[in-house]
Amino acid sequence: MTKLGLLARIEAKPEYADKVEGLLRDALRLAQEEDHTVTWYAFRQSATTFGVFDTFENEEGRQGHLQGKIAAALMEVAPTMLSEAPDIRPVDVLAVKLP
């Protein structure tokens, strides 16, 4: 079972919400290229609030993801498209149900 994760909350400026959604949809390809990212979910909570939840086998994988292409793309658009910096928090996975 994967035991480490990241939970990110992303708040878009209203006029950029659709572009942030597109960025997250396109980021799936980048997540699939990451060897140490076990699972990766992007979601929308409201018109302007988005999130990402991903899991890793070890701390090396989690840190690699934080320094990877998805994080870089998000930080690049943050000043223009986001109303605040992404809130990215490490989490410990306690239990999992998968198909």
pLDDT per residue as tens digits for the range 48-96? 999 999 999 999 999 999 999 999 999 999 999 999 999 999 999 999 9
Per-residue model confidence (pLDDT) at position 29: 97
* pTM of this structure: 0.93
Per-residue model confidence (pLDDT) at position 1: 74
pLDDT per residue as tens digits for the range 3-56? 999 999 999 999 999 999 999 999 999 999 999 999 999 999 999 999 999 999
* CATH numbers and ranges of domains, the chain: 4-89 (3.30.70.100)
Per-residue model confidence (pLDDT) at position 37: 95
* HSE-up of residue 75 (Cα within 13 Å, Cβ side): 8
